[in-house]
Amino acid sequence: MTVRHTADELVDAYLKYLGEAAEPLPEERRTELLAEVRTHVAEERAAGVVTPEEVRAMLARLGDPDEIVAAATDGLVMVKRQPRFRSRDVATLLLLSFGGFLYLLGWVAGVALLWTSDRWTREEKLLGTLVLPFGFLPVALLGTLSTAACRADLNGEILGCGGYTYPGWFQVPIMIALAAVQLVALFVLVKNARPRRSAGLRG
């Protein structure tokens, strides 16, 4: 308190505080407000406000930075906006898609995260659960099953598959369809995720 500050230090500290207080303002308003106040201070100093005491009085006339920022938020609804995707929501989507590969349990964890999240409605949660159970795992299994269990001749012609026949013309479209359905469901979840669309365990 007894430390003597130079006029420059006082001005710098004031502008720094104002800049921080104005942080929540929309960028354009913040920049403009800071420029106006900076100009004001420069004009005052050019007009004869020189000593630290004079600067102090000038800054007191300008007013508390918090008060100035409050005046600038007039008419704005200041809401702390939640990000659309928290890390738990990203984890939810990844586990729903690929959790099946983690001994199936990953997908179960994904479903648990999905149903306790507030980002999606009940209908979307149902969609996320039913399309598809275990995510991309069934798609991948379908692919490996056939190559592992099917015998092909030298020309790549499939001769037969395991205990059951698996026509090749049938398998590829099914895989594509399953993967596509899965992608569509994922797309819906990504697109619709918003805070507070349903009651979640935590907001």
Partner 1 sequence: MVAEKVFSQLRRGTLEYCVLALLQDDERYGFDLVKALSKVDGLVTTEGTLYPLLARLRREGLVDTVWRESESGPPRRYYTTTAAGTAALAAFIVDWERFRGSVDSVLGLGGRR
CA distance 94 to 12: 48
Give, as ranges, the residues between 138 and 197 that touch partner 1 (CB under 8 A): none
Shortest reach from residue 62's CB to partner 1, in Å: 4
Q: Which residues contact 175 (CB under 8 A, 6 or more apart)?
A: 139, 142, 143
- Tokens 């026949």 map to which residue? 165
Shortest reach from residue 36's CB to partner 1, in Å: 4
Residue from 68, 43, 138 nearest 97 by CA: 138
**Phi, psi dihedrals of residue 159, rounded to the nearest 5°:** -90, -40
CA distance 91 to 195: 16
3-state secondary structure of 160: strand
Does 72 sit near partner 1 (CB under 8 A)? yes
Segment contacting partner 1 by CB under 8 A, of 26-34, 96-104, 116-124, 168-176: 26-34
Tokens of 69: 């920022």
**Phi, psi dihedrals of residue 102, rounded to the nearest 5°:** -90, 70
Does 36 sit near partner 1 (CB under 8 A)? yes
Shortest reach from residue 69's CB to partner 1, in Å: 8
Among 7, 10, 15, 68, binds partner 1 (CB under 8 A): 68
Shortest reach from residue 57's CB to partner 1, in Å: 12
Segment contacting partner 1 by CB under 8 A, of 39-47, 103-111, 127-135, 178-186: 39-47
Q: Which is nearer to partner 1, 22 or 127 (CB)?
A: 22
Run of H or E including 161: strand 158-161
Does 63 sit near partner 1 (CB under 8 A)? yes
3-state secondary structure of 188: helix
Does 62 sit near partner 1 (CB under 8 A)? yes
Segment contacting partner 1 by CB under 8 A, of 34-42, 133-141, 143-151, 177-185: 34-42
Which residues contact partner 1 (rule: CB under 8 A)? 29, 32-33, 36-37, 39-40, 42-43, 46, 61-65, 67-68, 71-72, 74-75
